[in-house]
Amino acid sequence: MKPITWQHALGALGLGLLVWGSAQALLVAPPDRHMGDVSRIISIHVPCAWVGLLVYTIAMVLAVGSLWSGRSRWDAALTAAIETGLVLTALMLLTGMLFARPTWGVWWTWDVRLTTTLLAFVLFAGVLTMRSFLEEPRRRATWTAVATIIAWVDVPLVYFCVRWMRSIHQVQSSPDTIDAAIYWPMRINAFAVLFLALWFIVLRTRVERLREEVDEVAPPAPVVTAA
């Protein structure tokens, strides 16, 4: 029997917390005074948003590290972080749409928060798409890092736009304004999604590193003997 590595322990911890936090949100937390049971969506939507933006910020730090050091392991981790961020952004957008329909009456509106979030998704997806077209490893790493830093500029906009501009999306709440019974499931789910995201990044980085090895260990050309 294989021993459970620390990476998989991270995933198991994330999964356990997600089950616990979701059970708290669905079964224990009281419905909101105005939004009713629909408010339970916030306990999973907000953690995806928080961790998604955090993972993009980790990607930006990795991009700087990749440019600074020129080492391929930074580039591999950067790719992993971008992909994980994209998954979380997609989940954030989908759960947001499921929250918007019963509360705002529409699935989607071109509100500043929604638009900047979609823009982040498109920009980071663009980084990975651009990356797939570049074959030379050093050039690919440089361009990925530069594009990531440019794309990251949208991340603070996503977070602060609701304070800077008029938006249908609510501004950030604080624990002082939310009942603990509603706040705690959200916090537990935030840690759950964070641990799962870190697990994904570690696994995806390993895939990328092994792919590099595959490229390096190319089989030798067959021996051609003169006739």
C-beta closer to another protein: residue 174 or 227: 227
Taking the CA atoms of 27, 31, 36 and 42 in sequence, report the sign of the dihedral they define: negative
Which uninterrupted H or E stretch holds 72? Answer: helix 72-104
Nearest distance in Å: CB 132, another protein: 14
Phi/psi at 32 (5° precision): -70, 150
Q: Please give the structure tokens belonging to residue 194.
A: 């964070």
C-beta closer to another protein: residue 38 or 168: 38
Q: Which of 90, 157, 168, 178 binds another protein (CB under 8 A)?
A: 90
For the beta carbon of residue 56, count every other beta carbon within 10 angstroms: 25
Residue 212 CA to residue 163 CA, distance in Å, equals 44
Work out whether 224 is an interface residue with another protein (CB under 8 A): no
Q: Which of 16, 36, 126, 175 binds another protein (CB under 8 A)?
A: 36
C-beta closer to another protein: residue 147 or 192: 192
C-beta closer to another protein: residue 35 or 119: 35
Whether the Cβ atoms of residue 17 and residue 192 lie closer than 8 Å to each other: yes
Write out the binding residues for another protein, residues 174-203 only, by CB under 8 A: 196, 200, 203
DSSP string over 2-66: PPPPHHHHHHHHHHHHHHHHHHIIIIISPPBTTTBGGGGGHHHHHHHHHHHHHHHHHHHHHHHHH
Work out whether 54 is an interface residue with another protein (CB under 8 A): no
What lies within 8 Å, CB to CB, of 34 at 6+ separation is none
Work out whether 218 is an interface residue with another protein (CB under 8 A): yes
Q: Please give the structure tokens belonging to residue 205.
A: 């980085």
Residue type present at position 143: W
Nearest distance in Å: CB 90, another protein: 7
C-beta closer to another protein: residue 1 or 221: 221
C-beta closer to another protein: residue 87 or 157: 87
- Give the x/- contact pattern for another protein in 60-89, rule: CB under 8 A: ---------------------------x--
Work out whether 41 is an interface residue with another protein (CB under 8 A): yes
Judged by the rule CB under 8 A, the positions of this chain that interact with another protein are 11, 18, 22, 26, 33-38, 40-41, 44-45, 48, 87, 90-91, 94-95, 98-99, 101-103, 196, 200, 203-204, 206-207, 210-211, 213-214, 217-220, 223
